[in-house]
Amino acid sequence: MANSYARWLPSAHYELIDVPSFSFTKMDELKTDYASGEIWIPVKKR
């Protein structure tokens, strides 16, 4: 998630808003060592 703040946010046309962010990871029960995830960062257009 740090990469999103350090690289993407400064170059995007968005700014952070003061609400919590969150992320989650879902493990795939059928595939060993496989997972998917999402990161939700609260932003608004500049």
Count, residues in the chain: 46
The values of phi and psi at residue 21, to 5°, are: -100, 165
Rounded CA-CA distance 43/21 in Å is 10
The pLDDT of residue 45 is 94
The pLDDT of residue 10 is 87
pLDDT tens string 4-45: 788 888 899 999 999 999 999 999 989 989 999 998 989 999
**CB distance 25 to 37 below 8 Å:** yes
Delimit the domains of the chain by residue range. 2-45
The pLDDT of residue 34 is 94
pTM above threshold 0.95: no
**CB distance 16 to 43 below 8 Å:** yes
The pLDDT of residue 42 is 93
